[in-house]
Amino acid sequence: MATVDLKDVRKVYPGGVEAVKGVSIAIPDKELCVLVGPSGCGKSTLLRMIAGLETISSGTCAIDGKVVNAVGPTERDIAMVFQNYALYPHMKVYDNMAYGLRNRGTPKDEIDSRVRSTAKVLELSHLLDRRPRELSGGQRQRVAMGRAIVRNPKVFLFDEPLSNLDAKLRGQMRVEIKNLQRSLGVTSVYVTHDQLEAMTLADILVVMNAGLVEQMGAPLDIYEKPASTFVASFIGAPPMNLLAIAAKPDSQADTLEKFFANGAGLGIAAPVLAATLGFRPEDADVLGEGEKPSGSLKLPATVEAVEPVGAESFLYCAAAGGRIVVRVAGRAVAKPGDSLEVLVPAGKLHWFDSTGKRV
């Protein structure tokens, strides 16, 4: 049982770089919190402060209600899994997994039963006598997980643990990690720059940007109501379409305005403060011949490229002085050069002000 509470945590590195600029996150017991954001936004720094591997410049980190700022990493009862596994190359899998327990003076019988039961859960039982170089990437990653699990820690910390694996294996391991974390019920913090991994793993999703939290919440809530253009373009793939509407009368962007209120569109008024209109590729549709939609934004577009992916196709289009992507099911009828009308239901439009905040 463990909660993790960060209160206004900051990190200024000795050289003066302010990597984390005041972050507060409360992680309930047994939940998996994912920190996601572009490279350099401070994810690893934050994780390393929770682990005790970096000092906290100001603010507090509490585990189970107890502030641990001054507690060393080995006393925090935390296990960390890294991208590069950090396995001991000269040790067999068994010894890699047993190492931490031996260091703590755990009795031999208990080490043996814990290593073997963990190996069974991770399907590593037949590999216990191998050395890391005799394993595949996925198996090595499992050993690294096993080494963390045998210790039965209060908190798991993961720093991009799947980045070195190919896409298929990454998908499998993602499911395994989620199932393991659930069944073990260990409070976890997971760092990734991959929005898909973040969406699928998180109980609590924290989107970070330049050392700050942009938005925090349940993954689907964030997907449905991104708090800023940054979040809108980071969560979801392909990202949300964003078009400028706060235009000087003579600029290109004002072409969009005629599709609201009184133009060719269907009477949707842009909120007063809106500077940017957003809609997701999957919420847009192509108007069929003779169809008469109501209550939707209707945007003339020219197809520039078509990307078939099998179950769906993406139409890359020029529209309203910008570029948009439309997702259609199955095989696309449209081809490059076609003119078409893109429809977006009013309820699926997102509005942002000139600072990028949701209106």
Ligand X SMILES: Nc1ncnc2c1ncn2[C@@H]1O[C@H](COP(=O)(O)OP(=O)(O)O)[C@@H](O)[C@H]1O
Binding-site size, ligand X (CB under 6 A)? 12
84 binds ligand X (CB under 6 A): no
| Interacting span for ligand X (CB under 6 A) from 41-49, 91-99, 231-239, 302-310 | 41-49
Decide whether 53 or 334 has the Cβ nearer to ligand X.
53
19 binds ligand X (CB under 6 A): yes
| Interacting span for ligand X (CB under 6 A) from 11-19, 174-182, 194-202, 335-343 | 11-19
195 binds ligand X (CB under 6 A): no
Partner interacting with residue 13 (select from ligand X, Mg ion, none; CB below 5-8 Å by kind):
ligand X
Nearest approach, Cβ of residue 109 and ligand X (Å): 40
Decide whether 59 or 321 has the Cβ nearer to ligand X.
59
The residue of the chain with the least Cβ separation from Mg ion equals 44
Binding-site size, Mg ion (CB under 5 A)? 1
Decide whether 190 or 259 has the Cβ nearer to Mg ion.
190
Nearest approach, Cβ of residue 7 and ligand X (Å): 19
For the segment 29-48, give every residue that binds Mg ion (CB under 5 A). 44
42 binds ligand X (CB under 6 A): yes
What is the identity of the amino acid at 235?
Answer: I
Instruction: Candidates 41, 206, 270, 303: give the one binding ligand X (CB under 6 A).
Output: 41
Partner interacting with residue 140 (select from Mg ion, ligand X, none; CB below 5-8 Å by kind):
none
Residues in touch with Mg ion (CB under 5 A): 44
Residues in touch with ligand X (CB under 6 A): 13, 15, 17, 19, 37, 39-45
